[in-house]
Chain A
Amino acid sequence: MKSTEPPKTSSWMGKYRSIIFAIGLFIIFDLAVLVATFFMSQQIADDTAALNLAGRQRMLSQRIAKTIYVAETEQVSSQLSAGTLKELKNASAQFDTTQRGFSVGGAATDTAGQDLKLKPLGGATQQDLLKQIATLWVPYIALVDPLTGPIAPTAETIRKAADYSRTNSNKILDLANQLTAQFEADVKEKTNLLRIAQVVGILLALANIAYIILALIRKLRESDDLIEQRHREYTHIMATVREGLFLLNKDGTIGSQMSASFPAVLGQPAAPGMDFLSILKRLVPEKDHEAATEYIALLFGDRVKESLVASLNPLSQLELRSTEGADDMVSRFISLQFSRVKTGKEITHLLVTAQDISERVRLTQAVKDAELRAQEEIKGLLDLLELEPAVSKRFLVDTEQSLDAINEALRGAGQTRDYPSTISEIFRRVHKLKGEATVHNLTLFETLAHRFETILSELRDRPNLNGDDLLVIPPHLEDIYSRTAKLRSLAERMSSKDAHIVQSAASGHEFGYMLESLAEKVSANQKKKVRVLTDVPDFGSLPEAKATMLRDIAIQLVRNAVVHGIEDANERVMSSKTETGSIHVTLKRLDANKFEFAVRDDGRGVIPEHIRESLVKSGRYSRAEADAFDERALVMKLFEPGISTSATIDNDAGRGVGLDVVAEKVKAMGAKIRLGTRPNLFTQFNIIFAAAA
């Protein structure tokens, strides 16, 4: 299963950590500047109020002095007014309250008449000035207070206050001026400080903003570069990857991105947006297409476990056939694999991977073939080792001689161009080899010969045979050659080195035993019950060449008798016969040099109509031609290559080669052959030959 979640290796917190830090710093800067400005503004506001009050103190000091002088003048003229005293009282009270406020803090009223709370002045210079003012003010207020009390002041009281005022009023004014100037300097200093703080704060904030912007731009560029790089890499991958890759949408269409090799892997046109199942329909049988459709629907559903259904993928190995050249069919194998792609928990796509697995399939098949070949050879070796060393050695030598002869025949075909005759000759030799292999129970050679016969049979039935057609033969020939050589080498190493090649002129007993073994094996294959009775005492006295040829004839005739002559048990019982069929093999000496070899079975006999049907079936004779043959002519056709009355082809019969081999050997022996038969009673072959030419 694939996931489209962002990679966990770089979280966005880590990615933008410096920017987040800068933004945090920006906020802290701004807050700090704001707080500093607030407090400094508050201080400036307080100082400005104090400055105003200090200025008022100057004015009050002058008003007090002026009022005292007015009161003195009014006293002299006996016109002292209550208004003058009241004004003096208010002025002195305001001055005194402010003076105390500056010194120890306390409530006061500002120049607008608003109540305010004064803090004690903190500066040393200011405190010093206040002390100097207090030094002058305390005696001053002590002289002024009697003037503003409930009892009317005397002229003396007023004069003393006026005298003190004339002496000290200007001093107080001067000190108040200095205090005012000091306040002005403080306000100015704090204002400058506030300005500097604001400028620095703003500059830092601007720098911070600039850093954030630059950092964001850098990050954006890095992201863009990364996206661009990934896109380039992705494009390269999709352009060069050998596998077909794409995302399959839920509606069955190919996603917007697809690897360039996909159409080549598939051998079909394919493009983003095309319906994948429609493309698939052209490649697989209807049943597989339905299974694939269901399988894809399963994967898009969330019920089944992806890992538990992968083995059911009906497209894991597809064989695609195409024609190359004239008639050559070329097979390719491709594999289509599907993986779920999820966004969150939702299955959004299937990732489809298409691979050409032809090489892998071929290698797997090659390994299987090699294993099969090795098993066959081991079995072949074991079969050979079960034989007498001399017998197995003779078989291998005979086999190699037969293969040499086949090779020679192939070479000769190039000159004579009589390809049908060449095929017949090779067929006879291969059939003889198969017969020998059957006799000795050598399954490997029997199988190899049978495969070879299948090829030969196809060639024999091919019209207008030409030299190129025969090119399929050498590989089979080479196969049997190499296996024979290998087995011979192995057998020689494993068996006695001093084994002698047995002479074909074995004893009559051995000859009879060989034919009985052959009949037993073939009848087991054919699921029939057969008994072979042999009477061949003079076989051992035959010259080797004649004995060998007679042996080949006997093998074919006994095999034919079991396969074609003897009926199966049920058929025999229906025909009032015993379940077990009998084959009699005899060799009689007719005179000093002449012998008669006979093979007789008590089977169904030769039925001319069956031969007639076989002739038509072989395609060599028309129905009219076959109908024109009399019974004798029909029976003689059995000795032609490719004519068989067997309905099926198996290891034992059906190729129509057995009697062809017999005819060839009879001719080679200079012998005469007779065939006698009666339906449902017997078939008998008699061969009369001279021991010496």
Chain B
Amino acid sequence: MRIVLAGKLPGAQIVGLARDGAQAVMMFKAHQPDAVTMDLTMPNMDGIRCIEEIMAINSDVPILVISALADKATAIAALRKGARGFLNKPFTEKQLVAALKEVISDE
């Protein structure tokens, strides 16, 4: 993902890659990124809980949920918690870049 974004989203910089939900929240506090991409299935802290924690820190940050479509209800719950968009796995580079552009746009 780092390679994809470096080439397709000029000006974008990945400030951190977290191994699990708990680390993601810590890194979010430390780096205050402009956008977050997140898998719903993570060790230590699941995606829903992680979104809740991040929203408590900054409710304006756009979060793109990246997950498989097996459980739509969980993905919808994640969006209800504050995520802005959803990208189905597997995805192409083009789809990822388009989704990120969409999720960080103001409109």
Residues of A within 8 A of B (CB): 287, 290-291, 294-295, 297-298, 303-305, 307-309, 311-314
Contact = CB atoms under 8 A, between A and B. Distances in A.
A304 B78 CA distance: 11
B76 A295 contact: yes
What band does the interface of chain B fall in when counting residues whose beta carbon is under 8 Å from A?
A: 20 to 34
Given A294-B80, A297-B80, A298-B79, A308 B73 contact: no
Contact of A312 (B79, B82, B102): B79
Contacts of B84: 303-305, 308
Contacts of B64: 308
A312 B76 contact: yes
Contact of B102 (A295, A307, A313): A307
Contacts of B77: 294
Given A305-B102, A307-B102, A287 B73 contact: yes
Interface in B56-107: 64, 69, 72-73, 75-77, 79-80, 82-88, 99, 102-103, 105
Interface string B40-68: 00000000000000000000000010000
27 contacts: A290-B73, A291-B72, A291-B73, A294-B73, A294-B77, A297-B80, A298-B76, A298-B79, A298-B80, A303-B84, A304-B83, A305-B84, A305-B85, A305-B102, A305-B103, A308-B99, A308-B103, A309-B79, A309-B85, A309-B86, A311-B69, A311-B86, A311-B88, A312-B69, A312-B79, A312-B86, A313-B72
Nearest to B59: A303
Nearest to A308: B85
B76 A294 contact: yes
A124 B88 CA distance: 99
B75 A312 contact: yes
A304 B69 contact: no
A77 B72 CA distance: 136
A314 B76 contact: yes
Contacts, number: 52
A308 B72 contact: no
A689 B85 CA distance: 76
Interface of B: 64, 69, 72-73, 75-77, 79-80, 82-88, 99, 102-103, 105
A308 B76 CA distance: 11
Nearest to A301: B80
- B72, B85, B87 — which one has the most chain A CB atoms within 10 A of its CB? B72
B82 A303 contact: yes
A307 B107 CA distance: 12
Contacts of A308: 64, 84-87, 99, 102-103
A291 B76 contact: yes
Contacts of A291: 72-73, 76
Contacts of A304: 79, 83-85
- B64, B85, B99, B102 — which one has the most chain A CB atoms within 10 A of its CB? B85
A290 B72 CA distance: 11
Contact of B72 (A305, A307, A312): A312
A311 B102 CA distance: 15
Contacts of A294: 73, 76-77, 80
Nearest to A305: B85
Which 10 interchain pairs have the tightest Cβ spacing?
A308-B85, A291-B73, A305-B85, A294-B76, A314-B72, A311-B88, A312-B72, A305-B102, A304-B79, A312-B75
Contacts of B85: 304-305, 307-309
A298 B65 CA distance: 14
Contacts of B87: 308
A345 to B, nearest CB: 9
A309 B99 CA distance: 10
A409 B100 CA distance: 66
A305 B77 CA distance: 15
Contacts of A311: 69, 86, 88
Nearest to A314: B72
A313 to B, nearest CB: 8
A294 B83 CA distance: 14
A290 B82 CA distance: 18
Contacts of A290: 73
Nearest to A313: B72
A303 B88 CA distance: 19
A336 to B, nearest CB: 14
- A303, A304, A308 — which one has the most chain B CB atoms within 10 A of its CB? A308
A295 B82 CA distance: 13
A262 to B, nearest CB: 24
Contacts of A309: 76, 79, 85-86
A409 B87 CA distance: 57
Nearest to A315: B72
A295 B73 CA distance: 9
A441 to B, nearest CB: 34
A210 B6 CA distance: 69
Contacts of A305: 84-85, 102-103, 105
Nearest to B71: A291
A290 B99 CA distance: 26
A529 to B, nearest CB: 38
Contacts of B69: 311-312
A296 to B, nearest CB: 10
